[in-house]
Structure 1
Amino acid sequence: MSSPFGDGPPPGVSRREWRARTNAASSPASRTAAPESLADLLGGAASAAVASTPTILTVCTGNICRSPLAEVLLRARLEQLGVRVHSAGTHAMVGQGMTPQAQEIAVRSGAAPSTAAGHAARYLVEPMLAESDLVLTMAREHRSHAVQMMPSRLRQTFTAREFARLATTLTDDVVRTVADAAGSDPRARLGAALRVLGDQRGLTLAAAEDDDVVDPYRRSQATYEASAEQLLPAIDEVERVVRAALV
């Protein structure tokens, strides 16, 4: 199965209208509004498409280095499975693209150049959390921010490296077994896998800093490479678990 729209407009929605709705959801004013899902905003057939689409949200601070790198890499790997991946920042540099260093690492690691070049930073707002099945943050501070914004997303929110650490305790067969028990709906299957992964919290020991991906913004190329070295193995584990749950 293929993604109905990725981060582009869903069926029946023009690119101009899609941009207007996205900008409205990302505006500072929307951060004070009541939580509203993307499906509610779209309505009709597009709403149904959103409702059936597994969605992953990646989060960092400025939404120009770490979270868009995670976004474009996961999209390249999971889009053909019908998974939608997007990103946002807790203090986003709204409208700015990925830094050149992050873009270079993204393309080198398998992202489409046009996808990396087309990124525009967005604020993290409640509708994004509400519609996401998995929220992957780049550091513990972002995880705390997301959960404080929407406490109901606690069980779906992990730092990327925390996810990877917990995932190493689960084989593909275990993931498939719990997903099969949830039925055929892709979101239900992914949700079941995430619940069993979340149950591993507290059973594996790690230093707190081992759950963070270092922030490379305005730092050296060596720091960008070190940040990627922390993030990329986590992306591998996310892909493995999601693929085992959905395929």
Structure 2
Amino acid sequence: MNGPGHVLVVCTGNVCRSPYLERRLRQDLAGTGIEVSSAGTRGLVGRDMDPTSRALLVRAGADAEGFAARELTSELVAGADLVITAAREHRAAAARLHPAALRRAMTLRDLADLLDGVTPRELADGYHGESTWVRHVVDVAASRRGLVPARQDGVDVTDPIGRGPEVFDRMAAEIDGALVPVVAALRAAPSA
């Protein structure tokens, strides 16, 4: 069970938000060994990502090639150390498919709030390789739930499907901003 771990990203159709988030995470976590994949609660199976999400990824310098949308399954949820969702409805859907994953399924913005301000030293304390690094980061985030007030609004990442480029820009800005503390925590694994 040791090692870096696996992150699963979830949205609805797996063509706009989750592909963008998946590929930005892959870009930001390059060299860590952490695996990142995505799926949709109503995945448009086999479809490529939305062209506007693709263009935003290319502009950010991320790899947009070889993507195909998938349907979220209980096996995918069970195999993930962390399930990052675009919205609370996706978190609930993941938990319905695999109830044991409820503790390690979080919206991107809730996860970012929980990890904001956590230092690499705080993350390293208590980690002895008994689980994956990703699962350890999830445990640290979960332990802060009573200390960090939960958002009452602004939790869900804007869904841009069928909307104009400015809405896709908003989605990308929301994701990119929330990724900062998440990536910092996931990259903070102590050296072997």
Check if 1:125 corresponds to 2:76: no
**Structure 1: segments with no counterpart, 5+ residues:** 1-49
Q: Counterpart of 1:62 in structure 2: which amino acid? A: G
Cα deviation, residue 51, structure 1: 7.8
> SS of the residue aligned with 2:62?
coil
**Aligned counterpart, 2:37:** 86
TM-score, L = length of structure 2: 0.92
Cα deviation, residue 206, structure 1: 4.2
Q: How does 1:133-144 map to 2 (within 5 A)?
A: 133-144=81-92
The 8 Å contact of residues 3 and 132 in structure 2, kept in 1 or not, is answered as no
Q: How does 1:54-203 map to 2 (within 5 A)?
A: 54-112=5-63, 116-179=64-127, 182-183=128-129, 187-203=131-147
Cα deviation, residue 218, structure 1: 0.3
Check if 1:212 corresponds to 2:163: no
Runs of 4 or more consecutive aligned structure 1 residues displaced over 4 Å after TM superposition: 50-53
Residues 211, 246 of structure 1: alpha-carbon distance in 2 compared, 3 angstrom cutoff: farther
**Structure 2: segments with no counterpart, 5+ residues:** none
> SS of the residue aligned with 1:136?
strand
For 1:211 and 1:137, how far apart are their aligned partners in 2?
10
The 8 Å contact of residues 97 and 117 in structure 1, kept in 2 or not, is answered as no
Q: Counterpart of 1:118 in structure 2: which amino acid? A: G
For 1:90 and 1:190, how far apart are their aligned partners in 2?
22
TM-score, L = length of structure 1: 0.72
Structural RMSD (CA): 1.8
For 1:246 and 1:77, how far apart are their aligned partners in 2?
17
The 8 Å contact of residues 16 and 161 in structure 2, kept in 1 or not, is answered as yes
Task: Note the alpha carbon deviations across 1:137-169, whole angstroms, 9 max, x for none.
Answer: 000000111111111011111101111111114
Q: Counterpart of 2:111 in structure 1: which amino acid? A: F
